[in-house]
Amino acid sequence: MLYDSIDMLRKRHLLINKPEIIRILKIQDEIVSQIRVFLKKEGFVEILAPIIGPVTDPGIRDAKQVSINYYGTEFKVMSSMILYKQMMINVFPKVFALSPNVRLEPTETIKTRRHLTEFRQIDLEVVNATYKDLIDLGERMLCYVIRKIKQKHGKELREERRQLEVPRRPFKRYEYREVLEILKNFGVNVEYGSEIPWDGEELLSKIHREPFWIMEFPVTARGFYYLEHEEKPGILRDFDLLYPEGFGEAISGGEREYRYERVVNRMVKSGENVADYGWYLEMLKNGILPSAGFGIGVERLTRFICGLENIWDAVPFPKVAGIYSP
Ligand code: AMP
Ligand code: MG
């Protein structure tokens, strides 16, 4: 079944006008429009996302970055625009972009059904905000979009046989360490300090009927740009949102470390080559404002809203690890 469906990816150019695909793309168009409406009402300015640059987000787990030869120097294709959001927050207090990302995910991610190698995030950042402010924003945004899609595309959701409710707020909030306990009770042992593995994430998602947050990951599990708690050393002021019903991670975000010395320290500890981050470190040395933000994957949101088995049905030109397709 999985491999039949992957085979169809290679024939996308012949299948793109199937009614099922058209239906999903119409819903996706509305999802993106409604996120824009919501964020504009909240006072956000939309900026154009970078596609390439000297460095990009290293916090992408087991995925590999893509390099290009840029007139004789190495450039990266954006794995996420986090470093650029920190630049823009000094210009506009609330910014967002529809940001394309490329990550060469390991081939076993085909089996998660939620990993693409090319995807988009609505990536946003708010000056002087706390991670709890962003949790609140994320909940309101998700509920707003679901409500609008139900109103405007009830017919299409019924055709997809998707039963979708607007979640109740506030969503449940766990701390990372609580989640390790839950997983342990299901026989999944995750070492404190590491990322939650994909099957653990799916299990947690399956046992929930409503979206829920996981907050305060350990510093060793995440990128150097998340802010550490003053009063809880080793713990970050960050969060993930997980969809229920097995759909897995929706959002990652948090408060940012913005102080030059501390960032360098964190880079060294996480094994980054400080010299690669020239413009970014120069910017930090010059001083930037504190901020918090998050990214929500557009294809994953579409998959969840439409109730799709595979993420590759939630994008017009899907790219899946190891598969050659248009
Ligand atoms: P991350 O920076 O890895 O936390 O990614 C931010 C968000 O982008 C995630 O919460 C997902 O919604 C989405 N995302 C990350 N990696 C992928 C992927 N390989 N395929 C599709 N969506 C992704
Ligand atoms: Mg994440």
Q: What is the pLDDT of residues 285-321, one digit of tens each?
A: 999 999 999 999 999 999 999 999 999 999 999 999 9
Q: What is this structure's pTM?
A: 0.98
Q: Which is the closest atom of ligand 1 to the Cα of 297?
A: 12
Give the burial class of 146: count Cβ atoms within 10 A of its Cβ; 0-12 exposed, 13-18 middle, 19 or more buried.
Answer: buried
Domains of the chain (ranges, CATH numbers):
2-314 (3.30.930.10)
Q: What's the full length of the chain, in residues? A: 326
Would you say 56 and 83 are in contact if contact means Cβ atoms under 8 Å apart?
yes
Best substitution site from 118, 121, 125, 214 to test ligand 1's pocket, by max atoms within 8 Å of Cβ? 121
Q: How far is the CA of 232 from the centre of ligand 1 (A)?
A: 27
Ligand 2 centre to CA of 253 (Å) is 8
Chain segment 25-79, per-residue pLDDT in tens? 999 999 999 999 999 999 999 999 999 999 999 989 999 999 999 999 999 999 9
Closest Cα partner for 198 from 254, 242, 138?
A: 242
Query: Tell me, what amino acid is at 147?
Result: R
Distance CA 192, CA 286 (A): 36
